[in-house]
Each structure stands twice: as C-alpha cells, then as structure tokens.
Structure 1
Amino acid sequence: MSELSFDAPVWHHGKALRKGYTTGSCATAAAKVAALMVLRQHLIHQVSIVTPSGVTLCLNVESPHIEGQQAIAAIRKDGGDDVDATHGMLIFARVTLNDSGEITLTGGEGIGTVTRKGVGLPLGSAAINRTPRHTIESAVREAIGPARGADVEIFAPEGEARAQKTYNSRLGILGGISIIGTTGIVTPMSEESWKRSLSLELEIKRASGLTRVILVPGNHGERFVREQMGVDTQTVVTMRNFVGYMIEAAVRLLALRHISGPPGAGRG
C-alpha cells in the first residue's frame, strides 16, 4: 500500500472515511523513537516507521523522557474514522540499553495477559501479537545496531479500563488491551478485520476443548439463549453480519450445534 493509498479515503455508503493506524504501529514507533533518544541523548518529537503493508507513517511523539540508559516515549492511537476502544489512547514504550546483544520485549501496565490457548501466543505472555512483535524488534534493532542489546517494555496506562470495551475478556486476554495489527493500518468498516476477530473466538473455543458451539446474531441473541434457554455463554459465539462466513468456519473448526436468537434479534 502506498502513502497515496493510505491518504485516500475509504468510501462507505457515499461517505468518505479516513484510515488510521493500529496499536502495533503505535508500539513500534514508540519503541523506535525511545531507542533513538537513549542513543542520541536528546529528545525527539517526530518519528517515521514503515508498516508491514509498506506505508510510511510520520507520527508525533508525546511524553518523551530520557534518564541515563533508558528512554520513554508515547504515540497516540488514531483509528481514523474507525473509532474503537483504543482510539485516542497513548501507547508507551520504555527502552533500556544493555550489552547483551539481545532484544527482549515485555508488556507492562495496561497490556493484556494471555490466559487461554488459541490466540497464537504462549500462555502467560503479553498480548503483543506476532506481527507487532516482529516490527517492534526490527525497529529497535535498526535503531541500536547489531551489537547492542535492549529491554523493551510496552505499556498503556489506560489499557485495563479501555479493554473492558473490547472482546479481550472473551478471548481470554485479561488485564489490558492487545497490541495488534497485521498491516499496521486501520481500514474503516473492514469486513476482514471483523471476520478475523470472530473466527479467532472459534479458534479459542476449540483450543479450550469445546467441540460444539451455538452461533447467535448478536448481543440480543446471546442474552436470549442465556436467559430463555439456560445456555452457558462459554459455548456461544456471535456472528454479527457474517452469517455464512461464521457457519462455514464453525463447521470447519468445530461441530456447529445450532443458530439461535429471538425473532428480529439482528446484530444489536
């Protein structure tokens, strides 16, 4: 994706929607600029990164701070016109240089912890997905060179509160947000992003040992099967508007039990 295509809006129902960038891009940029600051020993107020999709982002740095061989910097998440629970929050990185030659990456305050199998990360690890892990480590390595080592901590003071408005608890990610993004760019109204998050829930159900699930249209459907049918919501997965896709995924990954919901449940 070129810079021009990033600047070009996404059209949805005749309305131009602005693209944004992911928590993964924020963490990568924050880690890179913190590494550069501790090396150069002066504050930096703007940093550029290249996202996995090839887009170059030039981002403003907030709260830069240097103390000896450690530096901290933050990037404010901008989801464009796809305003999710993390929009507007600060993603921080703390980088401490050492002589180990290795780069270690951890999650601090406000970054969720993986408590269930199925998300592709080790149990007990920070919820920093594979692509952001790679981009963070690569950006820091580029900044510090081949010989030095660094301890990198990603943290988000608002993360635990913001995570309550996400799917994280359903996915077994507790205590904070996830650092995510396969392309580094947020595309408003992206069906693929919705599908990935919904099918990930099926993967987690399978990894937990479930062999059957109940698919429901949305929140009303989930409430219906819980209150009217006495169903354990651990077996329930919402489909939103992706009925065909979710049925196919459930058949492929599990044994689909049935689809349920009150008349007119929709996606609410």
Structure 2
Amino acid sequence: MTGQEGPALRYGWTTGACATASTAAAYTALLTGTFPDPVEIVLPKGHRPAFALARERLDAGSAMAAIVKDAGDDPDVTHGALVSATVRRAEPGAGVVFRAGTGVGTVTKPGLPLPVGEPAINPVPRKLIREVVQRVAAEHGGTGDVVVEISVENGEELARHTWNPRLGILGGLSILGTTGVVVPYSCSAWIDSIRRGVDVARAEGLTHVAGCTGSTSEKLVERTYELAPEALLDMGDFAGAVLKYLRRNPVPRLTIAGGIGKLAKLADGHLDLHSKRSQVNFALLANIVGDAGGSAEFTHRVRNANTALEALTLCQEAGIPLGDLIATRARDFSLTTLQGAPIDVEILVINRAGDLVGHAPFEQR
C-alpha cells in the first residue's frame, strides 16, 4: 500500500481503513475462492487507496486477510501494525456482526460512542465495513450476513501506549478513523482522546479531572489528589481542546498542571502550548514582575532571560512569586475560555524536577 503524497509529508491510512480493506479481501475470497491483491476501497472523502495483502488464509468456513498499516509520516504508535479481518458466514438476517479478535479491545466503561461489551471498533470504521460487505455481496452473490473479527498483531502491547486503559478499553487497541486518512501531525487523534476521556469521566460520575502537560506534572497531581485514572487527561499541549470540550461538557473541578514555560503561554492567552505554535512572552513576564514590585533593572533581567525557568529562578532568588502570578493569570484565562461554564479551575506549576513552584487554588473551597 502506498500513502497519498501531501505537499511536504506523506499521508497514511487509519486502522479503520486497513480493517475495511482486509474485510473486503477476506469476504471476496470467502465468496469466490480468490483474494483480490491489491484490494481497493473507497473512503468517505473519495480517496481510493489500494492495499497489498501481507497475509491470507482460506478454509471451508472462513477467510482471513491482513494488511500492514502505513501511517505515512505521522509518528503513529500503530504504524507497521498488522491489521487482519477474519470473515465467517452468519445466520440469515444477522447483517454484519463485529467481533474483537486478538489485539483489539473491548469497551468496559460507559461514555464512549459504543455500548459496554462491544468491540472497540469505532462507528465510522463499522459503517465502512458494512458498506464494503454490501458491495462485495452484491458483486459476488453473497447475502451480506457475516461475522467480521478484527485483530491487530501485538495490539494489546501497543494499547499500553495509548489512552485505552484509562478509557476502559481493555485487551487491545481501538479501530479508529473518521476519514480513513492519517494526516501527519494533525493531532486529531490526540484531541479526540481528550474528548473521549472527558466523556468517560462524566459517565463515571467524576467531579474532578486534571489536564496535565506531561508525565511529571501528572505525577504531581497523583501525589496531591487521589483521583481515579479516568480523571487524568493527557492534555499535552492541547489546553484549548480540554477547555473547549469541558465548556460544552462540564465537570465541576478542573486542575491544570504543567511546567512553567507551557503555563506561561496559557497565562498569555495561548491555547496551543507547543513550541512550534506559541512562545513564552518575556515582555509579559517582565510586566508581571514589575507589577509585583520588581525594580526596572530586575525586570530588564527577566525580560532578557533565556527561558521561563531562568526567569523563575531569578524571581525565587528575589522573593517574587512569579510561579503563583503565572498560575493566577493562567487560571483567569482558563475561566474566560470556559465562558461561564460551571467549572472551578486550579493551576499547578512545576519545575523540571516536578516540584510545585506556582499555585492558583480553586476559588470555591
């Protein structure tokens, strides 16, 4: 299979697209005795990728086809994974029955777009698989009544590097994709995971969630509160994704925890905290220090600091609580972004060692 070429980076295909193509090849072989290789499918936006088969097996009652996922130039944890579909005939009138094979997870908690107990094959991939089953059935005289079992080789191990365990998806990966296309570095999958994390937290009845920029800030939250794993949102750089989704789907208390540099950006009104899309505003830090009583000479030193951590160290030596001041501004901007949603916000600022260096507490005790 060859990913579509973009202007600079190569596009790839989702696990959902791979599962759909594998299903098309396996069902065709079950009806005709021959595997189409490569196998072409049509995706929602009109892409028509052709996938080479990596494995195939045909016996009297079932057919299996497998495809190696190509995520293009995106650093996708499932790049290179073997995605397979085993198709068996089902009872007349059954339609398409989905099963989780080895390496595909099962939904165990409410809040996701699938009922508890269902294979973690998301709605769009299910729709694509049903459509391809109907097409193959029409072309080759089948009934379209089949059991489709999707598997991902080493999927259970790969899933440990995803949000699935926290979301209550156990036993393996989710079969994902809304367009079938992986856009390199689009971050859409990460943002979708944040949203699903909020959905699960709400369905579990949790009243306090935490958005953390990384593992160090998450460890601080774990030391500070006894939150359920489902309450810990792997926010990364996407503060805006957390705040905007909570604005529409509120949880009473939100802790945002992160390093001084990233939260200085939030304090400056940035919702995307990645270094490529926002920078620390040292003029703002100098103004904050000046408002706190810093001399003109000292504020000049802060303005010319190389990093936010250096500015923090200078202020700690001078007795100016820059971490608390940044945290308060970040909390105020977060509350503004929430637009009056019934959510109380707390900010925890850390240094590289994971020590708390700034705090803006919840306003409602």
Q: TM-score, normalised by structure 1?
A: 0.88
Select the residue among 101, 114, 139 that pairs with 1:121: 114
Distance 1:85 1:259 in 2: 26
Distance 2:252 2:225 in 1: 20
Residue in 2 that maps onto 1:36: 28
Distance 1:128 1:218 in 2: 28
Query: What does residue range 94-243 of structure 1 map to in structure 2 within 5 Å?
Result: 94-98=86-90, 100-101=92-93, 102-145=95-138, 147-227=143-223, 229-234=224-229, 235-243=231-239
Residue in 2 that maps onto 1:61: 53
Q: 1:92 to 1:191 in 2, by over 3 A?
A: closer
Q: CA deviation at 1:155?
A: 1.3
Q: Which runs of 5+ in 2 are unaligned?
A: 264-273, 275-351, 353-365
1:20 equivalent in alignment to 2:17: no
Q: Using the aligned pairs only, state the percent identity.
A: 37
Q: 1:57 to 1:207 in 2, by over 3 A?
A: same
Query: What does residue range 74-93 of structure 1 map to in structure 2 within 5 Å?
Result: 74-93=66-85
Higher relative contact order (CA 8 A, sep 6+): 1
Select the residue among 256, 259, 263 that pairs with 2:256: 259
Distance 1:99 1:230 in 2: 51
Deviates more, 1:235-244 or 1:117-126: 235-244
Task: Please tell me the residue identity of whatever aligns with 1:232.
Answer: L
Deviates more, 1:117-126 or 1:233-242: 233-242
Higher helix share: 2
Which entry has the higher C-alpha Rg, 1 or 2? 2
Q: Which runs of 5+ in 1 are unaligned?
A: 1-5, 11-15
Secondary structure, counterpart of 1:196 in structure 2: helix
Distance 1:241 1:7 in 2: 27
Q: 1:189 to 1:262 in 2, by over 3 A?
A: closer
Cα offsets for 1:220-248 (capped at 9, x unmatched): 21012223x24425333232112233123
Cα RMSD between the aligned structures? 2.1
Q: TM-score, normalised by structure 2?
A: 0.66
Task: Please tell me the residue identity of whatever aligns with 2:60.
Answer: G
Secondary structure, counterpart of 2:86 in structure 1: strand
